[in-house]
Structure 1
Amino acid sequence: MKTIKSMMEHLYWADGRILDALEESGTKNKDLLKLVRHVAIAERVWLSRLQGKSSAQYSLWGDAEDLTAIRNMFEENAEHYRAYIEGLKEFELDELIDYANQSGVPFQTSARDILSQVLLHGQYHRGQINRALRIESAEPVQVDYITFARLNMTD
């Protein structure tokens, strides 16, 4: 559980850093904003599934223009993931979660694998966002786990 908790704390930190970088860049790139919204919505979709709820109401690739609304989504996600993980026992990480994907196809996946998906999916897209920032001549932001770990060594 310690590793999952630490990696999730990294996710919240990295989400915040990428949002700060987007705000500082002043980008109006609709595809870039759509991508960061996608990350927030995907986190929400997976959390719904972990909680045994439907995720059918979420559109993974909707348009976005308001970084404040996206930041609020990320903050709400962090709050709900923290509560979920605090209530999770080690053995429950390997229990299978029944859910349907966005097309309605049923699946069973362990909570551990779902959380791993959330972590890796976000990092993948944060890398894409950083690349796009560089292309726009904006400064990409450091979101590597090791940077997070070094900053939190005293914790």
Structure 2
Amino acid sequence: MKTIKCMMDHLYWADERILAALEDSETKNKELLKLVRHVAVAERVWLSRLQGKGTAQYSLWEETEDLNTIRTMFEENAEQYRVYFEGLEESVLDKMIDYANQSGVPFRTSIRDILLQVLLHGQYHRGQINRALRIESAEPAQVDYITFARLNSV
């Protein structure tokens, strides 16, 4: 549980860093903004599933030009995940959750695997965002876990 909580702290930190890099770049790249929005919405979708809520109202791939709205979504996600973790015990990580994906297909997945999906999915897409920033000659965000760990080991 300690490792997952620490990795979630990394996720909040990395989301903030990638947003700052996008803001600094002043990019107007619609696909890049769509990708960062996708990360924020996916985090929210998985949290809703963990909370036993439906997710049909969420669209994973919409265009946006408003980084402030995305920032707000990331901040709300972090707050809600922290609340979720306050009540989460190690003993329930292997509990199975029933949910439907965005196409309505039913699935059953453990809480542990859902949390790992959230963590790995975001890092995958932050790598894509950083690559796109480099192509645009903008400064990418350092989001490696080891950087986070070094900054927080004091």
Interval of TM-score (by shorter of Structure 1 and Structure 2): over 0.9
Question: CA offsets, 1:67-121, max 9 Å, x none?
Answer: 0000000000000000001110101111000100001111110000000000000
Match of 1:127 in 2: 127
Structure 1 residue identity aligned to 2:134: R
Q: Distance in 2 between matches of 1:153 and 1:31?
A: 36
Q: Distance in 1 between matches of 2:76 and 2:151?
A: 23
Give the 5 Å matches for 1:1-155: 1-154=1-154
Residue 40 of structure 1: how far off its partner (Å): 0.1
Q: Distance in 1 between matches of 2:86 and 2:5?
A: 9
TM-score w.r.t. the length of structure 2 is: 0.99
Count of aligned residue pairs for this structure pair: 154
**Paired-residue identity, %:** 81
TM-score w.r.t. the length of structure 1 is: 0.99
- Where does structure 1 lack aligned partners over 5 or more consecutive residues? none
Residue 141 of structure 1: how far off its partner (Å): 1.1
Q: Distance in 2 between matches of 1:52 and 1:80?
A: 14
SS in 1 for 2:93: helix
- Where does structure 2 lack aligned partners over 5 or more consecutive residues? none
Q: Distance in 2 between matches of 1:107 and 1:141?
A: 34
Deviating beyond 6 angstroms after TM superposition, the runs of 4 or more aligned structure 1 residues are: none
RMSD: 0.4
SS in 1 for 2:55: coil
